[in-house]
Structure 1
Amino acid sequence: MNILISNKMRNSEFMNNDIEINKALEKAEQAFEENKLIKALDLYNKVYKLSKGNDVDAIIGLALIYDYLGKSEKVKEYYKEALTIDEYEERAYYGLAAIYDDEGNYEKAIKLYNKAIYINPNYHKAYFFLANAYDVSGKKISAIETYEKLLRLNPMDFWANLNLGSIYEEENQNNLAYKKFSTALKIDPNNYLALFNMGVICYKFNMLKKAIRFYERAIGKNKDYEYSYLNLAVIYKYIDTKKGIKILSKGINNCINVDFLYYNRSCFYALINEENNACEDIIKALELYPQFLKYVLEDEELESIRELNSFKEFIKKEHRFV
């Protein structure tokens, strides 16, 4: 009789404990969604203690919070702990991969992303960041294959289309790049990067009027993106140099201390024999980025600028260039 009572009491304790864990877990998730990180941290710790460290959701929650707080070693500990409880916990593999990815340890990240995908073949985010890890580590073929797999799962993934198009463009597979950028623009017609990339492809296809329109639209959507000004100005470099200078000047005014815009405007000024303006710009470019000196000394367009006394005096005065 006593044993039965004892068992009933124990079962009741477990039920009450489970109810308390579920309530705390629900509150923790809500606090996390509301960006109340300290409250969420306290609640996840409560669940962790109540479950004696066996609640995977609480451990994953703790890892996510410490990730937000920039405590990467702590994050790794929690994800690894989650995997000791459940070796098929895809979120832990993905989370660990993301940490190693941020650290530039792409080899480890790639292995872990692949483990997450093995467990969940429909893990869209894992495919996306796996493809990116392949890309930045120079494994372009694997990156292409992974993005294509993701797009078979979700053809309307904007960033997958855009990133894959960029790789195709880098690999000079321009027809494929054009198709991916076109799809990206159908998904989001106002994204400045998609507009910019279409400008790049149109320029490669010698469709200059279209390239100009895309670059102008890209600038209209994001006036702080310096490469739109550069690429647009380059189109005008030899056909309307003064217009190119105006575009570069607009970029310099809208973007803060962009060294290569000064460098390029210097070259444009040199083309129309405005040597003083060219010299001022190349000095500004060198002040912002001294490593340009190597290119300045070899650039044929700047030959006359290198002979100016003002340029020579600047180089002589600046000990870092001597």
Structure 2
Amino acid sequence: MKDDIQINKYLKKAEEAFEDNKLIKSLDLYNKVYELSSGKNLDAIINLALIYDSLGKSEKAKEYYKEALSIDNYEERAYYGLATIYDEEEKYEEAIRLYNKAIYINPNYHKAYFFLANAYDVSGEKDLSIETYEKLLSLNPMDFWANLNLGCIYEEQNQNDLAYKMFSKALKIDPNNHLALFNMGVICHKFNMIKKSINFYERSIEKDKGYEYSYLNLAVIYKYKDTKKGIEILSKGINNCSEVYFLYYNRSCFYAVIDEENKACEDIIMALKLYPQFLKYVLEDEELVKVRNLNLFKEFVDKSNLGQALH
């Protein structure tokens, strides 16, 4: 009885420490529960696994999840926890098996459905991913990310009406999410609703100035009808984003369109410095023929270790 009172006291303190992100303190308290319960308290075991996983000690976490399952073979949290680790390790087949185990035990396990759908998606099982997202949305229609991710799969498959429907739902749930706005820009462009597409991309940039693809897609709309405006947009992206190598590459192509080869060459050199793998595309890009013939470009390639790629 005394031990039970002490266990509950430690459990409460451990949970509070975990919520405050004091992981080491929480770990110590759960270990005390583990000792007092002679390794039989499932909440302590599951949370020890969770903390070790959070600390990057996935093998230790696996041991605790498996220990939980040796006590209770129907412990859905352990199957889910193990699945997330294998998912992170890109061992999708095992992750999928374990997510399904968790769902078999608890058919309303929202998080398991979500990550199962994602595991199916990244492993190329698109139909199963769609089916799983749809099941999740039947349980929780207001799941923002499920709506958005399902829309992305439909868009990949050119099921554009369905994609539009899902992105619209996502925006009703969160009207200010930059990814939902971006994806709506993509689908509106596919439907040739150019003004709407521009509006969505602009709103996406307004909500997150660091998302480089919004600048790229918006600029591409202006590439041939107002190239200088497109260059302005790409320049803003270069100033605001961290991953900008492909923005330099695209701005180079825009400069080439208006015959500003020297500026185009400067941007291509910057793009290649940041991402040398672009060279194969530069060598094949018809818009960059004049740029490739500039001495500045040839000298850069010869002086860098990229020179061999030309021969």
Class of the TM-score when normalised by the shorter of the 2 chains: over 0.9
Aligned to 1:192: 178
What percent identity do the matched residue pairs reach?
A: 79
- Are the equivalent residues in 2 in contact too, given 1:144–1:164 (CA < 8 A)? yes
- Are the equivalent residues in 1 in contact too, given 2:120–2:128 (CA < 8 A)? yes
Aligned to 2:252: 266
Compare 176-185 and 284-293 and name the one that shifted more: 284-293
Aligned to 1:202: 188
1:87 counterpart SS class: coil
1:257 CA displacement = 5.0
Q: Indicate the structure (1 or 2) with the bigger Cα radius of gyration.
A: 1
1:33 CA displacement = 1.5
Aligned to 1:76: 62
User: 2:40 & 2:58 partners in 1: Cα distance?
Assistant: 22
Aligned to 1:253: 239
2:65 counterpart SS class: helix
Aligned to 2:23: 37
User: 1:315 & 1:38 partners in 2: Cα distance?
Assistant: 51
User: 1:269 & 1:104 partners in 2: Cα distance?
Assistant: 41
Which string of whole-angstrom CA distances, capped at 9 and with x for unpartnered residues, describes residues 129-153 of structure 1? 0000001111101100000000000
User: 1:27 & 1:226 partners in 2: Cα distance?
Assistant: 43
User: 1:94 & 1:260 partners in 2: Cα distance?
Assistant: 38
1:243 CA displacement = 0.6
Amino acid at match of 1:202: C
Aligned to 1:168: 154
Aligned to 2:215: 229
User: 1:256 & 1:234 partners in 2: Cα distance?
Assistant: 20
Amino acid at match of 2:266: E
1:256 CA displacement = 2.7
1:118 counterpart SS class: helix
Which string of whole-angstrom CA distances, capped at 9 and with x for unpartnered residues, describes residues 201-258 of structure 1? 0000000000000000000000000000000000001111111111111111111351
1:319 counterpart SS class: coil
User: 1:175 & 1:123 partners in 2: Cα distance?
Assistant: 29
2:281 counterpart SS class: helix
**TM-score under structure 1 normalisation?**
0.94
Aligned to 2:272: 286
Which string of whole-angstrom CA distances, capped at 9 and with x for unpartnered residues, describes residues 138-178 of structure 1? 11011000000000000010000000000000011000000
User: 2:9 & 2:299 partners in 1: Cα distance?
Assistant: 73
Amino acid at match of 2:152: S
Compare 141-150 and 254-263 and name the one that shifted more: 254-263
User: 2:79 & 2:305 partners in 1: Cα distance?
Assistant: 51
Aligned to 1:95: 81
- Are the equivalent residues in 2 in contact too, given 1:257–1:288 (CA < 8 A)? no
Aligned to 1:3: none
Which string of whole-angstrom CA distances, capped at 9 and with x for unpartnered residues, describes residues 60-117 of structure 1? 1111111111100000000000000000000000000000000000000000000000
Amino acid at match of 1:221: K
User: 2:251 & 2:18 partners in 1: Cα distance?
Assistant: 49
Aligned to 2:12: 26
1:200 CA displacement = 0.1
Question: Mapping of 1:47-196 within 5 angstroms?
Answer: 47-196=33-182
Aligned to 1:7: none
1:237 counterpart SS class: coil
Aligned to 2:229: 243
CA RMSD of aligned residues (A): 0.9
2:224 counterpart SS class: coil
Amino acid at match of 2:257: L
Alignment of 1:316 onto 2:297: no
Q: List runs of 5+ in structure 1 lacking aligned partners.
A: 1-14
User: 1:232 & 1:122 partners in 2: Cα distance?
Assistant: 40
Compare 19-28 and 68-77 and name the one that shifted more: 19-28
Amino acid at match of 1:239: K
- Are the equivalent residues in 2 in contact too, given 1:234–1:244 (CA < 8 A)? yes
Aligned length: 308
Runs of 4+ off more than 4 Å: none
1:182 CA displacement = 0.1
